[in-house]
Amino acid sequence: MFRALGRRRAVLLLAVAALITAPGPATATTTTQPLPDGTFIRDVGEGSVYRIAGGAPIYVSAWAAFGGQQPYVDISHAQLLTLPEYPTDGTFIRGTATGYVYRIAGGAPVYVSTWTAFGGPQPTTDVDQVAIQNAGRGGKWNHIRYNPADQTFVRGTATGQVYTFAGGAPIYVSNWAAVGGERPAVNVDQAALDNAGSGGPYDHVRYYPEQGTPLVTLDNRYWTVGEGVARRIEPGDFSSTLVDLLAVLNAGQPGQWSHLIGHVA
Protein backbone atom coordinates (compact mmCIF):
# COMPACT_ATOMS: atom_id res chain seq x y z
CA MET A 1 0.00 0.00 0.00
CA PHE A 2 2.76 2.42 0.95
CA ARG A 3 4.57 1.55 -2.31
CA ALA A 4 1.43 2.39 -4.31
CA LEU A 5 1.15 5.74 -2.53
CA GLY A 6 4.79 6.41 -3.30
CA ARG A 7 4.29 5.71 -6.98
CA ARG A 8 1.23 7.97 -7.08
CA ARG A 9 3.13 10.74 -5.34
CA ALA A 10 5.98 10.42 -7.87
CA VAL A 11 3.55 10.63 -10.78
CA LEU A 12 1.91 13.70 -9.20
CA LEU A 13 5.27 15.42 -8.69
CA LEU A 14 6.25 14.76 -12.32
CA ALA A 15 2.95 16.25 -13.52
CA VAL A 16 3.46 19.38 -11.41
CA ALA A 17 7.03 19.74 -12.70
CA ALA A 18 5.77 19.49 -16.29
CA LEU A 19 3.24 22.28 -15.67
CA ILE A 20 5.91 24.53 -14.14
CA THR A 21 8.30 24.12 -17.07
CA ALA A 22 5.65 24.17 -19.81
CA PRO A 23 5.91 27.14 -22.26
CA GLY A 24 3.43 30.02 -22.07
CA PRO A 25 0.72 30.75 -24.63
CA ALA A 26 1.38 29.42 -28.11
CA THR A 27 1.46 33.00 -29.40
CA ALA A 28 4.34 34.09 -27.17
CA THR A 29 8.05 33.33 -27.40
CA THR A 30 11.15 35.01 -26.00
CA THR A 31 14.29 36.07 -27.81
CA THR A 32 17.54 37.95 -27.50
CA GLN A 33 18.08 38.01 -31.28
CA PRO A 34 17.68 41.08 -33.53
CA LEU A 35 14.02 41.65 -34.38
CA PRO A 36 13.15 41.89 -38.09
CA ASP A 37 10.58 44.34 -39.38
CA GLY A 38 7.04 43.05 -38.99
CA THR A 39 7.77 41.28 -35.70
CA PHE A 40 5.20 41.81 -32.95
CA ILE A 41 6.71 42.20 -29.48
CA ARG A 42 5.26 42.47 -25.99
CA ASP A 43 6.91 44.40 -23.19
CA VAL A 44 6.48 41.88 -20.36
CA GLY A 45 7.06 44.62 -17.80
CA GLU A 46 4.13 46.78 -18.98
CA GLY A 47 2.14 44.37 -21.17
CA SER A 48 2.23 46.79 -24.12
CA VAL A 49 2.42 45.37 -27.64
CA TYR A 50 4.43 46.91 -30.48
CA ARG A 51 5.32 46.06 -34.09
CA ILE A 52 8.85 46.51 -35.34
CA ALA A 53 9.20 48.86 -38.33
CA GLY A 54 12.54 50.25 -39.40
CA GLY A 55 14.02 48.63 -36.29
CA ALA A 56 11.81 50.65 -33.90
CA PRO A 57 8.79 49.53 -31.85
CA ILE A 58 5.50 51.05 -33.10
CA TYR A 59 2.68 50.80 -30.56
CA VAL A 60 -0.27 48.49 -31.25
CA SER A 61 -3.36 50.03 -29.63
CA ALA A 62 -5.59 47.03 -30.45
CA TRP A 63 -5.16 43.63 -32.11
CA ALA A 64 -8.20 44.50 -34.22
CA ALA A 65 -5.90 46.70 -36.30
CA PHE A 66 -4.34 43.46 -37.58
CA GLY A 67 -7.46 41.33 -37.86
CA GLY A 68 -7.00 39.71 -34.45
CA GLN A 69 -4.20 38.54 -32.19
CA GLN A 70 -0.92 37.69 -33.87
CA PRO A 71 2.11 35.68 -32.71
CA TYR A 72 4.42 37.86 -30.67
CA VAL A 73 7.79 37.80 -28.92
CA ASP A 74 8.16 38.66 -25.24
CA ILE A 75 10.98 41.04 -24.34
CA SER A 76 11.88 42.79 -21.13
CA HIS A 77 11.27 46.50 -20.64
CA ALA A 78 15.06 46.93 -20.49
CA GLN A 79 15.34 45.29 -23.93
CA LEU A 80 12.61 47.56 -25.28
CA LEU A 81 14.60 50.61 -24.18
CA THR A 82 17.61 49.44 -26.23
CA LEU A 83 15.63 49.52 -29.50
CA PRO A 84 15.90 52.56 -31.79
CA GLU A 85 13.65 55.42 -30.74
CA TYR A 86 12.31 56.00 -34.27
CA PRO A 87 12.19 53.93 -37.48
CA THR A 88 15.20 54.24 -39.74
CA ASP A 89 14.87 57.01 -42.32
CA GLY A 90 13.64 55.60 -45.62
CA THR A 91 11.39 52.97 -44.01
CA PHE A 92 8.00 52.54 -45.70
CA ILE A 93 4.98 51.94 -43.46
CA ARG A 94 1.27 51.51 -44.19
CA GLY A 95 -1.60 52.36 -41.83
CA THR A 96 -3.86 49.34 -41.44
CA ALA A 97 -7.13 51.29 -41.14
CA THR A 98 -6.63 53.58 -44.15
CA GLY A 99 -4.12 51.87 -46.40
CA TYR A 100 -2.15 55.15 -46.50
CA VAL A 101 1.55 54.60 -47.19
CA TYR A 102 4.25 56.80 -45.71
CA ARG A 103 8.02 57.03 -45.83
CA ILE A 104 9.86 57.81 -42.63
CA ALA A 105 12.01 60.95 -42.70
CA GLY A 106 13.38 62.48 -39.52
CA GLY A 107 11.34 59.99 -37.50
CA ALA A 108 8.02 61.11 -39.03
CA PRO A 109 5.68 59.63 -41.66
CA VAL A 110 5.77 61.54 -44.96
CA TYR A 111 2.86 60.59 -47.21
CA VAL A 112 3.38 58.56 -50.38
CA SER A 113 0.63 59.52 -52.83
CA THR A 114 1.75 57.04 -55.48
CA TRP A 115 4.32 54.26 -55.76
CA THR A 116 5.31 55.78 -59.09
CA ALA A 117 7.26 58.36 -57.09
CA PHE A 118 9.61 55.52 -56.09
CA GLY A 119 9.67 53.51 -59.31
CA GLY A 120 7.03 51.03 -58.16
CA PRO A 121 5.90 49.27 -54.97
CA GLN A 122 8.47 48.93 -52.20
CA PRO A 123 8.69 46.63 -49.12
CA THR A 124 6.30 48.04 -46.53
CA THR A 125 5.43 47.23 -42.91
CA ASP A 126 1.79 47.51 -41.82
CA VAL A 127 1.38 49.44 -38.57
CA ASP A 128 -1.56 50.57 -36.44
CA GLN A 129 -2.99 53.73 -38.03
CA VAL A 130 -3.78 55.00 -34.53
CA ALA A 131 -0.03 55.09 -33.81
CA ILE A 132 0.43 57.37 -36.82
CA GLN A 133 -2.45 59.65 -35.84
CA ASN A 134 -1.18 59.93 -32.25
CA ALA A 135 2.48 60.32 -33.21
CA GLY A 136 4.50 62.34 -30.73
CA ARG A 137 1.80 62.51 -28.05
CA GLY A 138 3.97 61.00 -25.35
CA GLY A 139 4.67 57.63 -23.77
CA LYS A 140 4.00 54.66 -26.07
CA TRP A 141 3.16 56.99 -28.97
CA ASN A 142 6.62 58.58 -29.03
CA HIS A 143 8.25 56.10 -31.39
CA ILE A 144 6.96 58.15 -34.34
CA ARG A 145 7.33 61.93 -34.58
CA TYR A 146 4.36 63.90 -35.89
CA ASN A 147 6.59 66.11 -38.09
CA PRO A 148 10.14 65.43 -39.28
CA ALA A 149 12.89 66.52 -36.91
CA ASP A 150 14.64 69.83 -37.56
CA GLN A 151 17.62 69.57 -39.92
CA THR A 152 16.21 66.50 -41.69
CA PHE A 153 17.15 66.70 -45.35
CA VAL A 154 14.77 65.35 -47.99
CA ARG A 155 14.72 65.26 -51.78
CA GLY A 156 11.53 65.40 -53.84
CA THR A 157 11.48 62.46 -56.23
CA ALA A 158 9.73 64.30 -59.04
CA THR A 159 11.99 67.37 -59.05
CA GLY A 160 15.23 66.40 -57.32
CA GLN A 161 14.82 69.53 -55.17
CA VAL A 162 16.39 69.33 -51.71
CA TYR A 163 14.86 70.75 -48.54
CA THR A 164 15.78 70.88 -44.88
CA PHE A 165 13.08 70.72 -42.22
CA ALA A 166 12.64 73.56 -39.75
CA GLY A 167 9.66 73.74 -37.42
CA GLY A 168 8.00 70.87 -39.27
CA ALA A 169 8.20 72.53 -42.72
CA PRO A 170 10.53 71.97 -45.70
CA ILE A 171 12.85 74.92 -46.45
CA TYR A 172 14.46 74.84 -49.89
CA VAL A 173 18.22 74.27 -50.24
CA SER A 174 19.43 75.82 -53.49
CA ASN A 175 22.99 74.59 -53.07
CA TRP A 176 24.68 72.23 -50.61
CA ALA A 177 27.35 74.84 -49.96
CA ALA A 178 24.64 77.09 -48.46
CA VAL A 179 24.23 74.65 -45.56
CA GLY A 180 27.87 73.74 -45.07
CA GLY A 181 28.19 70.83 -47.48
CA GLU A 182 26.31 67.82 -48.78
CA ARG A 183 24.27 65.74 -46.29
CA PRO A 184 22.34 62.48 -46.53
CA ALA A 185 18.83 63.15 -47.85
CA VAL A 186 15.73 60.95 -47.81
CA ASN A 187 13.87 60.69 -51.10
CA VAL A 188 10.20 61.58 -50.53
CA ASP A 189 7.14 62.07 -52.70
CA GLN A 190 7.21 65.65 -53.99
CA ALA A 191 3.42 65.75 -53.62
CA ALA A 192 3.82 65.46 -49.83
CA LEU A 193 5.85 68.69 -49.85
CA ASP A 194 3.67 70.56 -52.36
CA ASN A 195 0.46 69.64 -50.47
CA ALA A 196 1.90 70.02 -46.98
CA GLY A 197 -0.64 70.89 -44.31
CA SER A 198 -3.63 70.39 -46.61
CA GLY A 199 -5.28 67.79 -44.39
CA GLY A 200 -5.41 64.05 -43.82
CA PRO A 201 -2.19 62.19 -44.57
CA TYR A 202 -0.51 65.43 -45.74
CA ASP A 203 -0.59 66.95 -42.27
CA HIS A 204 2.64 65.29 -41.13
CA VAL A 205 4.45 68.03 -43.05
CA ARG A 206 3.67 71.67 -42.25
CA TYR A 207 3.57 74.17 -45.11
CA TYR A 208 5.17 76.96 -43.04
CA PRO A 209 7.45 76.50 -40.03
CA GLU A 210 5.82 76.40 -36.62
CA GLN A 211 5.36 79.77 -34.95
CA GLY A 212 8.57 80.92 -33.25
CA THR A 213 10.90 78.57 -35.14
CA PRO A 214 14.46 79.96 -34.95
CA LEU A 215 16.61 79.88 -38.09
CA VAL A 216 20.23 80.69 -38.80
CA THR A 217 22.05 81.16 -42.09
CA LEU A 218 25.66 80.32 -42.84
CA ASP A 219 26.67 84.00 -42.53
CA ASN A 220 25.49 83.93 -38.88
CA ARG A 221 22.30 85.88 -39.42
CA TYR A 222 19.53 84.78 -37.07
CA TRP A 223 15.80 84.80 -37.79
CA THR A 224 12.57 83.73 -36.14
CA VAL A 225 9.45 82.68 -38.03
CA GLY A 226 6.07 84.21 -37.24
CA GLU A 227 3.03 83.51 -39.43
CA GLY A 228 5.34 82.29 -42.16
CA VAL A 229 7.53 85.42 -42.15
CA ALA A 230 11.22 85.24 -41.21
CA ARG A 231 12.21 88.23 -39.07
CA ARG A 232 15.81 89.13 -38.31
CA ILE A 233 16.75 88.86 -34.62
CA GLU A 234 19.86 89.23 -32.52
CA PRO A 235 21.87 86.07 -31.79
CA GLY A 236 20.82 84.40 -28.56
CA ASP A 237 21.30 81.33 -26.42
CA PHE A 238 18.99 79.05 -28.38
CA SER A 239 19.24 76.26 -30.90
CA SER A 240 18.51 77.28 -34.50
CA THR A 241 18.11 75.31 -37.72
CA LEU A 242 20.65 76.09 -40.43
CA VAL A 243 18.89 77.10 -43.65
CA ASP A 244 19.87 78.47 -47.05
CA LEU A 245 20.04 82.29 -46.97
CA LEU A 246 18.42 82.38 -50.42
CA ALA A 247 15.38 80.57 -49.00
CA VAL A 248 14.93 83.54 -46.65
CA LEU A 249 15.71 86.26 -49.17
CA ASN A 250 13.45 84.69 -51.83
CA ALA A 251 10.63 83.96 -49.37
CA GLY A 252 7.22 84.40 -50.93
CA GLN A 253 8.33 83.54 -54.44
CA PRO A 254 6.39 80.68 -56.06
CA GLY A 255 7.36 77.03 -56.14
CA GLN A 256 10.14 75.78 -53.89
CA TRP A 257 10.53 79.17 -52.17
CA SER A 258 6.93 79.34 -50.98
CA HIS A 259 7.41 77.63 -47.60
CA LEU A 260 8.24 81.06 -46.20
CA ILE A 261 5.90 83.96 -46.94
CA GLY A 262 8.44 86.79 -46.67
CA HIS A 263 11.29 88.19 -44.62
CA VAL A 264 12.04 91.29 -42.55
CA ALA A 265 15.71 92.21 -42.38
99 and 169, same domain (yes or no): no
Domain count, the chain: 2
7 has a pLDDT exceeding 60? no
Reported as a single tens digit per residue, the pLDDT across 34-52 is: 799 999 999 999 999 999 9
7 is a domain residue: no
158 and 130, same domain (yes or no): no
| Boundary of a domain, candidates 93, 114, 143 | 143
Q: DSSP code of 238?
A: S
Query: By residue range, what is the domain housing residue 184?
Result: 153-264
**32 vs 140, more confident:** 140
Average pLDDT over residues 142-164: 98
**pLDDT value for 238:** 83
Average pLDDT over residues 93-112: 98
37 and 61, same domain (yes or no): yes
What is the residue-averaged pLDDT of the chain? 90
12 is a domain residue: no
40 and 137, same domain (yes or no): yes
| Boundary of a domain, candidates 85, 118, 143 | 143
80 and 109, same domain (yes or no): yes
**pLDDT value for 34:** 77
8 is a domain residue: no
| Boundary of a domain, candidates 143, 161, 191 | 143
**235 vs 89, more confident:** 89
76 and 33, same domain (yes or no): yes
222 is a domain residue: yes
d(CA 198, CA 205): 9
Reported as a single tens digit per residue, the pLDDT across 170-220 is: 999 999 999 999 999 999 999 999 999 999 999 999 999 999 999 999 999
136 and 162, same domain (yes or no): no
257 has a pLDDT exceeding 80? yes
116 and 173, same domain (yes or no): no
193 is a domain residue: yes
**pLDDT value for 33:** 66
| Cα angle, residue 127 at apex, residues 126 and 129 outer, rounded to 5° | 120
131 and 169, same domain (yes or no): no
139 and 198, same domain (yes or no): no
19 is a domain residue: no
Distances (CA, A) of 55 to 38, 64, 68, 104, 212: 9, 23, 23, 12, 33
95 and 190, same domain (yes or no): no
Band of pLDDT at residue 21, cut at 50, 70 and 90: very low
| Cα angle, residue 72 at apex, residues 69 and 73 outer, rounded to 5° | 160
176 and 222, same domain (yes or no): yes
236 has a pLDDT exceeding 70? yes
What's the number of CA atoms in the CB half-sphere (13 Å) around residue 110? 35
**pLDDT value for 32:** 56
17 is a domain residue: no
4 is a domain residue: no
**pLDDT value for 256:** 97
d(CA 174, CA 251): 13
